[in-house]
């Protein structure tokens, strides 16, 4: 039987703060295949997430198919807005949710991983990060600050992470970013510069696949996932409207699930996908292929 086997592999999934989104589903799928999992979690959400784990609130979601429970090797405080500790403003460092956490930057994450596991310790890196402070605003009303914030957190952070984590990758490593169809087509309501950020993320993915492939021999891909009513997606506004439209228009009239994306990520991260890089895999029931609605 041909199976996905990630035993002995270590994955870092950045952007997990609950059990409802794609990042968590990817972490769980990688664990089902045998990988050990580290998380990078946004500091303002870290305390709540850790409390939920400690109190068993997520035990049902953590259950694996073999009867065991998903356990994380490490959960690191991580803010992808900052490349180094020097970039973190003093008012952020002194705030309640940051002051005890130390260096939460991208470089700080790399340093923590190296201290915990050694200089070459990663096989899989997943970028499941997106944020736009003005996501509910149409692009015509988005400020320069809001636009650049969306691109910085949602796109540039992937390049910055790869630049700092690249030397820590083992041979044959896989990197994966989570994108959305708004990178290619108009999705009304997906505002604040987020569509531009996803377009930049996909373009950067291709360039990084070339540069990192030549430099370290690693693969870089993206999944363009269908809409999901995660807690983070609810910030967009009427996410259910997007889901319903996708459901009605797709070749397979079924809403995409987090598990669908998690399984695709496990495949792309495995040796079975050794020949795949610089590729965007759509996991959206074929919605991306439609020119008009599939309804009569």
What residues are labeled active site? 180, 190
169-179 and 36-41 strand pairing:
unpaired
The tokens describing 59, both together, are: 């035990």
d(CA 282, CA 80): 25
d(CA 39, CA 25): 12
3-state SS class at 177:
strand
d(CA 68, CA 52): 18
- Residue 223 Cα distances to 36, 42, 295, angstroms: 21, 22, 26
β-partners of residue 124 are: 11, 174
Edge-to-edge order in the sheet of strand 10-14: 72-77, 36-41, 10-14, 122-127, 169-179, 219-225, 280-283
Do 168 and 111 meet the contact criterion of CB atoms below 8 Å apart? no
d(CA 85, CA 98): 12
The tokens describing 123, both together, are: 């096989």
Burial of 117 per CB tally in 10 Å (0-12, 13-18, 19+): middle
β-partners of residue 280 are: 222
């Amino acid at each position: 039987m041909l199976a996905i086997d990630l035993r002995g592999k270590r994955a870092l999934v950045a952007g997990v703060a609950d059990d409802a989104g794609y990042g968590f589903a990817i972490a769980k799928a990688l664990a089902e295949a045998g990988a050990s999992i580290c998380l990078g979690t946004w500091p303002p959400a870290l305390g709540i997430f850790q409390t939920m784990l400690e109190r068993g609130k997520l035990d049902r979601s953590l259950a694996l198919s073999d009867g065991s429970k998903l356990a994380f090797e490490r959960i690191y405080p991580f803010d992808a807005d900052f490349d180094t500790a020097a970039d973190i403003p003093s008012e952020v460092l002194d705030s309640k949710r940051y002051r005890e956490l130390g260096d939460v930057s991208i470089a700080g994450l790399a340093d923590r991983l190296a201290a915990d596991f050694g200089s070459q310790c990663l096989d899989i890196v997943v970028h499941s990060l997106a944020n736009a402070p003005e996501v509910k605003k149409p692009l015509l009303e988005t400020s320069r600050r809001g636009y650049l914030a969306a691109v910085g957190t949602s796109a540039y952070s992937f390049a910055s992470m790869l630049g700092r984590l690249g030397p820590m990758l083992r041979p044959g490593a896989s990197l994966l970013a989570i994108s959305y169809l708004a990178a290619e087509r108009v999705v009304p309501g997906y505002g604040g510069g987020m569509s531009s950020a996803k377009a930049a993320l996909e373009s950067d993915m291709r360039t990084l696949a070339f540069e990192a492939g030549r430099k370290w021999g690693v693969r870089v891909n993206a999944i363009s996932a269908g809409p999901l009513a995660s807690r983070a997606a609810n910030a967009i506004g009427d996410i259910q409207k997007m889901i319903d439209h996708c459901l009605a228009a797709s070749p397979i009239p079924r809403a995409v699930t987090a598990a669908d994306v998690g399984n695709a990520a496990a495949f792309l991260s495995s040796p079975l996908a050794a020949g795949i890089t610089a590729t965007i895999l759509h996991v959206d029931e074929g919605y991306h292929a439609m020119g008009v609605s599939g309804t009569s």
